[in-house]
Structure 1
């Protein structure tokens, strides 16, 4: 038992290894020549081999205190679904904007273009383009608010 404990470093594993060693010796007893037999040495070698085998094949166990609680995927799934629903609602609301507002908003928000560049493409001044984008955002917000209210 002491040899097994020195190898494994754990009294539980040592007890299991000692039991494995005793069973192995017991199974080999009929084949041993008992006249020139050193039982003590034979048991020590069998114990060391059993302990090494147990260490090689065992799975490292971790105390339950060291295991973190599993993360519940439900909140992440719910957030993902909410984001998908919001994205769908935004796409639908953008499609309902007038074409010039949709184009100005897209170029401003998604392409990051300057008001002057957007205005040139639409034949507007920078101030008129800013007003157009403001109306597009306000219309988008109103549409999303209506959709949210309708869902309740």
Structure 2
């Protein structure tokens, strides 16, 4: 007879395969394994009669063109618009890589910077995690944080603006 561990291994293998049923016989003992069977029942819907008022129908001279289907794209996170300020004096701190934006070093600590904070060139403003590496992002300019353009935990793209800084 098979040991319990061998039976468990058989169950795992059958579950991962396209086999629906497995039968094992040895010395008069039989093991029969079946995957769950899904049954679908079709329900009949009674047709509804709708009374239409008679209308005059004009002959159609040409076939009517059907509009093409429209593709809908799902976005992961809402995009935050930049403030309508003078962009000439604003510096964008951009993500140097694709990853996850984190505003603080750990979830229980305060954010590195907030709107209105003063920063220097070497100030750390956030972390971008990529492939389990936490990369500290520096301000690169002296100034004041005017706007934070992304949410904590949001996925960011290479070159995506993260902050707007009013350069001094």
TM range (shorter): under 0.3
Q: What is the TM-score with the length of structure 1 in the denominator?
A: 0.25
Where is the strand percentage greater, Structure 1 or Structure 2? 2
